[in-house]
């Protein structure tokens, strides 16, 4: 595995799990602001989670087509380091948010078939990072965090002129194969380290991080 691999653990809801993720070597933790999600946290809860993060652990606020009032409420109370836009935000909206808050923006792009890949280029010129995820099935409640993977051949050894993160259905068992096949230097996981939807499992977190950083 490349020496500089990085791991994001998404959907944390307990301060001790944020601290654990940092101690285990994760580079990012994600806080989900999406009421339909079993990982949803309030601004007040996220404020406490952020306080639990060790120095150097990047705190990512995950939103879906959020308006400025919602983003203001998060930004005014939670010490975040990056936005993750996981909706249908346009490149123009990404640029607007970057300018408004002065924080890096990671744009999530859902992939199901080869036809979904070209859209990534539109964000490469404006986002700071890309999160390449499995496209949510039609009618799904969640735009992400579904524990579904996509055909990694679609992004095998692809190059975009900005850092990108592979996501979607990753687990301690498959993350190494995903990294080797795609060349991804960063990986993201939510369902694969849970014992139930929204319930992070410390042992699975440790297994995933160790496998991804091996």
Tell me whether strands 199-200 and 194-196 are parallel, antiparallel or unpaired: antiparallel
Stretch that binds ligand LARABZUK, among 44-52, 95-103, 167-175, 200-208 (CB under 6 A): 167-175
Q: Which of positions 182-201 make contact with ligand LARABZUK (CB under 6 A)?
A: 188-192
Q: Number of residues interacting with ligand LARABZUK: please give it, by CB under 6 A.
A: 28
Environment class of residue 137 by beta-carbon count within 10 Å: exposed (0-12), middle (13-18) or buried (19+)? Answer: exposed
The catalytic position among 67, 68, 72, 133 is 133
Catalytic annotation present for 10: yes
**In terms of Cα–Cα distance, which of 5, 4, 46, 42 is closest to 29?**
46
How is residue 30 written in tokens? 């994600």
The answer to whether residue 89 forms part of the interface with ligand LARABZUK (CB under 6 A) is: no
110 contacts ligand LARABZUK (rule: CB under 6 A): no
Angle at 205 between CA 89 and CA 50, to 5 degrees: 55
Please pick, from the candidates 49, 167, 204, 211, the single residue that binds ligand LARABZUK as defined by CB under 6 A: 167
Measured in whole angstroms, the distance separating CA 96 from the mean position of its chain's CA atoms is 20
What tokens appear for 162 in the block? Answer: 């900005």
Closer CB to ligand LARABZUK, residue 5 or residue 191?
Answer: 191
Measured from the CB atom, is 126 or 189 closer to ligand LARABZUK? Answer: 189
Question: Which stretch, 26-34, 112-120, 152-160, 204-212, contacts ligand LARABZUK (CB under 6 A)?
Answer: 26-34
Taking CB positions, which residue lies at the least distance from ligand LARABZUK?
A: 145
Nearest-angstrom CA–CA distance, 127 and 145:
21
Tell me if 172 contacts ligand LARABZUK by CB under 6 A: no
Q: Which is nearer to ligand LARABZUK, 52 or 111 (CB)?
A: 111
Distance, in Å, from the CA atom of 126 to the CA atom of 140, rounded to the nearest integer, reads 28
- For residues 123 and 109, what is the distance between their CA atoms, to the nearest angstrom? 9
Q: Residue 84: helix, strand or coil by DSSP?
A: strand
Q: Dig out the tokens for 134 from the structure.
A: 């499995």
Handedness of CA 184, 177, 175, 196 (dihedral sign): positive
133 is known as an active-site residue = yes
The CB-of-171 to ligand LARABZUK minimum distance in angstroms stands at: 8
Binding site for ligand LARABZUK (CB under 6 A): 10-11, 30, 32, 34, 37, 39, 62, 64, 86, 131, 133, 142-148, 167-170, 188-192
Active site residues: 10, 133
């Amino acid at each position: 595995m490349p020496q500089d691999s990085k791991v994001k653990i998404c959907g944390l809801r307990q301060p001790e799990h944020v601290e654990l993720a940092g101690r285990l070597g994760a580079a990012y933790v994600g806080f989900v602001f999406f009421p339909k999600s079993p990982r949803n946290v309030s601004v007040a809860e996220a404020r406490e989670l952020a306080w639990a993060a060790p120095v150097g652990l990047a705190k990512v606020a995950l939103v879906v087509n959020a308006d400025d009032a919602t983003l203001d409420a998060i930004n005014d109370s939670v010490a975040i380091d990056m936005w993750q836009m996981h909706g249908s935000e346009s490149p123009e909206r990404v640029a607007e948010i970057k300018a408004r808050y002065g924080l890096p923006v990671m744009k999530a792009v859902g992939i199901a078939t080869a036809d979904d890949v070209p859209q990534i280029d539109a964000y490469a010129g404006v986002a700071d990072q890309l999160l390449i995820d499995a496209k949510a099935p039609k009618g799904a409640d969640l735009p992400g965090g579904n524990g579904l993977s996509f055909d990694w051949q679609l992004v095998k050894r692809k190059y975009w002129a900005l850092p990108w993160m592979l996501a979607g259905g990753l687990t301690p068992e498959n993350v190494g194969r995903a990294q080797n096949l795609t060349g991804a230097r960063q990986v993201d996981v939510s369902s694969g380290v849970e014992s139930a939807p929204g319930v992070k499992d410390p042992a699975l977190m440790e297994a995933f991080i160790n496998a991804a950083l091996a």
